[in-house]
Structure 1
């Protein structure tokens, strides 16, 4: 991929075939992610006997307390960050950037649980702005502010125990909890008061497998977002559930009471119903059961920002042209809908929700087998048009982030696109996104 977002011709020649399927250059790496982290890494480098040395290595690599962020420092705990064998698992090493990129992206969208203590054990009522900030703050305290009682007083860092659990049911949400263990001897110096930080991460079971995100950080809301695409060939019927959509999200913030959410006009596939379209409003606190998808004629009206909502579904077939539309209407509410055959369908009005500031284009999947035929082969979203409140009447050009599988010049970082099942190619000044299914 070229830096301007256009497709690099050399890359295309190497990795694409005549049927427009992308040949995955690393087909065997996708199975491993951060789920292997505790057994393969944490106990070796962040145990009570090894953490002080690991922290010295991390500091020698240039990390300071202010710059330390979860996920970015782990490769520098080892003596040679360029050697995958020091991790004990080369596959985990190669997938690390992809794993933590997906996790960090998910955690920054999650509000903190106000019923749980904040990240600082010495000030538990001070809460972070989102779950990612909570995690970053906790590891900074554990590695820079706390000391093990019997270590050299100059050596900072206490044991970090990481526990990774899978979701019990299909879900795209990550969850994090942090727990501090008090030192048994109860020392008076607060820097020795705790001897272990336990991080429990609950991982998704399914989720976003082809993603383009504009990580817009400005203050203005988006007022209109459209995307046009054609209903693709149906996948083979293996019981999978697929969602294809353009969406707008809101983000959590400190002191915010309303939950962040996503508003999305969705093309969905199930074995039972085939292709259908409906609009969804999904707050971050909602965990749906994909084993019990709403019937096509089911509708859940919008009531308040804390509750999910969806419209009845309209059946569509291969070749139908859809335009997903999200807009701020009458200066009082957001609406999600589709244009189909010149008519507006699946209209969902969502008043009084948080400003939508985060555009995404996504292929989402659950209950997949190991067969790539479970997925659509090629999808092109065209006519991507975004309007923002601070630039009235003029479309703004999106800055899509689509991941990469390129190894960096430092021979440490391996790219952030390895775990995605689709390569996403922006073109036409980022108004077109092509989702290309990777091949094994």
Structure 2
């Protein structure tokens, strides 16, 4: 549920820094993109290299060390984050933040961000109960900061009491809950219909006309829609994939069956995504018995199947209609033509000859085209990651129309 969520972790100086290492590891395993800022004191406990290895991102600690000349690091990080977590948060950083002091990389970034900031204190029990610390925490509460209360237990200083940094597993659980409330599920209450995989057009009882589609991209789109809160219906051709959790799957075989299923699910859909590779032609006659091998050549007469995308394009009212187009040349050019001729809102095009994009691959390279003229390319990445980014882009651009559904 944290796939592609951008978490900025600010690590300040205390023995609980070792727990912050585990926190980065668990957030990364949950799919989050984690970046770390450290104070100089934090570096006395754990090296930046440790956090770099866990997050697979650069670690920041010097306000004046600009790793990219095109941006100001602390502003770029402040704007990048979906959520900022200060863990462990010492009495020192809590006092600085409460009083608007910005004298290092952590505090300048904290004052610059517009994202939510969560603070996870860790300190000696008597420090935590000190009136000045309580006053600073109260100020930050009133300013809208959220606190992850420390737990009680044996402290590094030898005392037993409140002041232990909350366990990494619990912090990850809280962050996951934050991103799964309706506020962070933009498709909550919306129905999304997705088609995936190939169709098979029977020649006789043992042969058929089909294509190489694996269904992986469509299934990834279905998983992404569920993660974003949608009631998701997946109309699937014959594939060898496990059914995604939380998705209603309608299994079909032929283009005619797929068209009927789409038509049935279409009226109350907010978004319809046609990722299936539907056969353009089918045998005009299906032989009731296996065709026997003959001397010489044989001819099978084909007829057109229904152009499902064009047909529902002519039917749509408030639905957001998204097509896919797998091409072997001039993908963007052909995509623009299909976008217009089929009355689509978006089309996602790719060149299947690209080594990172062909049928059956776990990665894809695509360009998102919109009726408004947007051309947004997406680099090679895993299809599950790409599906989230594609849906989030569409949701952002169509927020007004989705609110009307």
Calculate the TM-score normalised by the size of structure 2: 0.29
Which protein has the bigger strand share? 1
Greater Cα radius of gyration, structure 1 or 2: 2
Higher RCO structure, 1 or 2 (CA under 8 Å, sep 6+): 1
Which protein has the bigger helix share? 2
Calculate the TM-score normalised by the size of structure 1: 0.28
